[in-house]
Chains A and B, each alone.
Chain A
Amino acid sequence: MTESARTLPGDWYPGTIPPNALLDETAYIETTFSFSRCHSQAPRAFTMGYGASAYLGTMFDIGRIGRLHVGKYALLHGAWITCDTEVTIGDYTLCSWNVVIMDTYRAQSSLAKHRAMLERTSQHTPRRLDSDNPGHPVHISDNVWLGFDVCILPGVQIGEGAIVGARSVVQENVAPYTVVAGNPARFIKHLDPTDSVLQTPSNRS
Chain B
Amino acid sequence: MSDSIAPVDVPWSEDRLPRNVHIGPNSIISGQHAFKRFFCQKGKGLTLGDHCTMDAVQFAIGESGQVRIGNYCYFSNVVLLCELELRIGNYVIIGWNTTITDADFHPIQPAQRIVDAIACSPTGKGQVRPILKQEPVVIEDDVWIGPSVTILKGITIGAGAFIEPGSVVTGDIPSQSRVIGNPARIVGKEN
The residues of A with any CB-CB pair to B shorter than 8 Å are: 5, 13-16, 18, 20, 33, 35-36, 38-41, 59, 80, 98, 100, 102, 105-107, 109-111, 114-115, 118-119, 121-122, 126-127, 129, 149, 151, 153, 167-169, 171, 183-184
Q: Contact flags (1/0) for B148-173 with A, using CB distance below 8 Å?
A: 10000000000010101111100000
Beta-carbon contact of B164 and A153 below 8 Å: yes
- Bound-complex Cα distance A140 to B148 (A): 20
Q: How many residues belonging to B are interface residues under a CB distance threshold of 8 Å?
A: 36
- A169–B180 contact, CB under 8 A? yes
Interface check B127, CB cutoff 8 A: no
Question: Which residues of A sit under 8 angstroms from B2, Cβ to Cβ?
Answer: 39, 126
Interchain CB contact (< 8 A) of B182 among A111, A115, A127, A183 = A183
Does B35 lie at the interface of the complex (its beta carbon under 8 Å from any beta carbon of A)? no
Question: In whole angstroms, how far apart are the Cα atoms of A105 and B93 in the complex?
Answer: 11
B5 touches A122 (CB 8 A): no
Point out residues on B near A: beta carbons under 8 Å: 1-2, 4-8, 26, 28, 51-53, 55, 72-74, 91, 93, 96-97, 142, 144, 146-148, 160, 162, 164-168, 180-182, 191
Interchain CB contact under 8 A, A100 and B96: yes
CB distance from A147 to the nearest CB of B (A): 12
Question: Mostly helix, strand, loop or mixed at chain B's interface?
Answer: loop
Task: For B50, give the chain A residue with the smallest CB separation.
Answer: A122
Question: Nearest-CB distance from B23 to chain A (Å)?
Answer: 13
- A102→B96 CA distance, assembly (Å): 12
B166 interface neighbour in A20, A41, A183, Cβ under 8 Å: A183
What residues on B are CB-neighbors of A107 within 8 Å?
93, 144, 162
Across the interface, name the chain B residue whose C-beta is closest to A125: B2
Say how far B57's CB is from chain A's closest CB, in angstroms: 13
